[in-house]
Amino acid sequence: MSRTSVHVRSADAADAPILRELWSDILRRGTAAEQEADLVGIIDDCNASGDRCLAVAEVDGRVAGAVLLEATTLTPLNLEPTLIAVSPHVLPEFRRRGVGTALMDAATRFAEAQGIATVATAATASSRDANRFMARLSLTPQATFRAASTTAVRAKLSARRAVSRGRGSRQIDKVLAARRLGREHVAS
């Protein structure tokens, strides 16, 4: 299988509409105009920063994929310098043409230029192909990232508290009953 020539460059504001399409499943909820405005702001921030880069891969002059690169730490508690390759995505019609490889190559070049020894990324848990691709590049699972709405978490916490309160009061009732029985037995 021959690979198509892939060119990787920094994003510019004109890329916002295609990036909105590429990342539609991960952007905040809102109108297309709001999402594009968010992306223009991100692109401007990246172009003004030495620690961030929004890399766009092109095939035959068409945007085929993108990744946001950020020099940071592994976690807020582990201060190991790390390059996070945020949401490397490839448009479906360009998959299996070397676009993902070119994006991750850009990530490693950016990391090396920053003197960073660790590259990290995340793929959607349900994306079998993306997870296999990352595994083939030696990226191993480090954590499971979970998310839910604040309302859903609050509801579950409240339900757990109600159940534990119920158990706690039953336990106290049992202790008091045992003490009562013990006193009655001693009195007899």
In terms of domains, do 122 and 188 share one?
Answer: no
- Residue 184's pLDDT is what? 74
**CATH code assigned at 53:** 3.40.630.30
1 domain-assigned: no
Domain boundary among 93, 108, 136: 136
- Residue 150's pLDDT is what? 96
In terms of domains, do 182 and 125 share one?
Answer: no
In terms of domains, do 182 and 132 share one?
Answer: no
* pLDDT tens column, 81-116: 999 999 999 999 999 999 999 999 999 999 999 999
* pLDDT tens column, 122-179: 888 888 988 999 999 999 988 888 889 999 999 999 888 877 665 655 677 777 888 8
CA distance 68 to 86: 5
CA distance 145 to 149: 14
141 domain-assigned: no
69 domain-assigned: yes
In terms of domains, do 152 and 130 share one?
Answer: no
14 domain-assigned: yes
Range of the domain at 95: 6-136
Examine the pLDDT at 1 and tell me if it is beyond 50: no
In terms of domains, do 90 and 173 share one?
Answer: no
In terms of domains, do 65 and 12 share one?
Answer: yes
CA distance 65 to 83: 19
- Residue 167's pLDDT is what? 60
Which pTM does this prediction carry?
0.79
Kindly list the distances between the CA atom of residue 83 and the CA atoms of 29, 96, 120, in Å, as whole numbers in the listed order. Answer: 27, 24, 6
- With b for 16 or more beta-carbon neighbours within 10 A and e for fewer, the 10-24 pattern comes to ebeeebbebbbebbe
* CB 63, CB 8: distance < 8 Å: no
Q: Where are the beta strands (DSSP E) in 93-147?
A: 119-121
* pLDDT tens column, 60-73: 999 999 999 999 99
In terms of domains, do 132 and 152 share one?
Answer: no
85 domain-assigned: yes
Examine the pLDDT at 118 and tell me if it is beyond 80: yes
12 domain-assigned: yes
In terms of domains, do 41 and 121 share one?
Answer: yes
- How many structural domains comprise the chain? 2
142 domain-assigned: no
